Amino acid sequence: MKASLFDRYQEGKSIIHQLDPRVKLVVTFGYILSNLLLPDGAWIAFGLSLLFMIVISVVTELGWFFVVKRSLLALPFALAAVTIMFTLPGAPVTSFKLGPWHLTITDAGLMRFLSILVRSWLSVQAAIVLAATTQFPDLAHGLRHLRIPSVIVAIILFMYRYLFLLSEEAQRLLRARSARSASIPGRKGGNLFWRARVAGNMVGQLFVRSYERSDRIYNAMLARGYKGEFLTIMPHQMARRDWLIGSMAIAALLVLQIVGRITLF
């Protein structure tokens, strides 16, 4: 399995790529929080929030199509809130029967559902831009500079690193199974329960190999002086440009909040 399936960083020399990771983290979290705090139905503010993301996508030289294409993958998960259209009190918009149930969509429920979809879509776009313009080690060190506990940052780093190792180990197990199996075109080997048992054995082997490998690696890290902190030669010093761009972005998010509340009246 190729590393590109997990590594979403895109090489670039834009001003966003060169920003300190702390600025990008704070602005991204602030943008997501801003979308969450906007009232339901604040469509003008949501439109301005979308414009903010379009401008960022153009400045990063990624292109908005690059961001939108990847953000659409998150919309099916937002459909989990579809039941709110029928449960939130309000004026009926339409009704229909679904089997033994008589469902009624209310105006408040429909507005809440659409607002949740827009919030989720915009927030995922911000996360995609952050991952595409910042290398993962820089993100981790940015979290440490923001005083996130070192244990949490270490867990995130190890999880990211071992996604690649686990995928490679799984590929080796699959290649070994294929090399030891004789396949006949048009026929599958064994019944469903037999294939499920083989898959379960492979998962168990993957877990045992991963556990043993993690133990060896941790002992090797201790032998090399690991004390719970990952060191870096990157200075990560905030420059005047970082403070200026970060302040402008936060000010723009505050304006979004004001617009979102004024336009409701």
Both 156 and 84 in a single domain? no
The secondary structure of 170-205 as a DSSP string is HHHHHHHHHHT----TT--SS-HHHHHHHHHHHHHH
Both 225 and 245 in a single domain? no
Both 160 and 244 in a single domain? no
Both 31 and 113 in a single domain? yes
Both 92 and 160 in a single domain? no
- In this structure, is residue 224 part of a structural domain? yes
Q: pLDDT (tens digit, 0 to 9) for every residue of the chain, 265 residues total?
A: 344 444 577 888 889 998 999 999 999 999 999 999 999 989 999 999 999 999 999 899 888 888 888 888 777 887 788 888 888 888 888 887 777 777 888 888 889 999 999 999 999 999 999 989 998 888 888 888 888 888 888 888 888 877 777 777 788 877 777 777 665 666 665 567 777 777 788 888 888 877 888 888 888 888 988 877 777 776 678 889 999 999 999 999 999 999 998 887 5
- In this structure, is residue 190 part of a structural domain? no
Range of the domain at 77: 11-134+237-262
Both 121 and 224 in a single domain? no
Both 157 and 227 in a single domain? yes
- In this structure, is residue 140 part of a structural domain? no
- In this structure, is residue 145 part of a structural domain? no
Both 250 and 227 in a single domain? no
Both 160 and 100 in a single domain? no
Coil/strand/helix, residue 95: strand
Residue 43: how many other CB atoms lie within 10 Å: 16
Q: Does pTM top 0.75 for this prediction?
A: yes
Q: How many domains does the chain have?
A: 2
Q: Which residues of 199-232 are buried (b: 16+ CB within 10 A; e: fewer)?
A: eeeeeeeeeebeeeeeeeeeeeeeeeeeeeeeee
- In this structure, is residue 16 part of a structural domain? yes
